[in-house]
Amino acid sequence: MSNQENDQASGKGLGFGGGKGRNKGGGFGTGGYCVCAKCGRKVPHRQGVKCTSLKCPLCGKPMIREELLKK
């Protein structure tokens, strides 16, 4: 086994990850709302569609997940 393989096997690699990403690894799940931070318009969140990819139907600004506004 090479040194690199040995290091990886013993957990001494260069791994910079180890985190759980946004929201401490937990998604917000299905349901909920996407909200416009400018005008407050709410639309139901659709599974598999990020709120930030949606534009507000009233003012055209990007939407944000409701749970993120509450923080």
The whole domain housing 38 covers 32-71
User: Taking 50 as the threshold, does the pLDDT of residue 7 lie above it?
Assistant: no
Whether residue 51 lies inside any domain: the answer is yes
- Our CA angle for 21, 26, 32, nearest 5°, is 125
63 closest CA partner among 53, 30, 28: 53
Domain-located, residue 62: yes
In a domain, 65, yes or no: yes
This prediction's pTM: 0.58
pLDDT at position 67, please? 87
Q: What is the mean pLDDT of residues 20-41?
A: 75
Task: Report the mean per-residue pLDDT for the chain.
Answer: 77
Domain count of the fold of the chain: 1
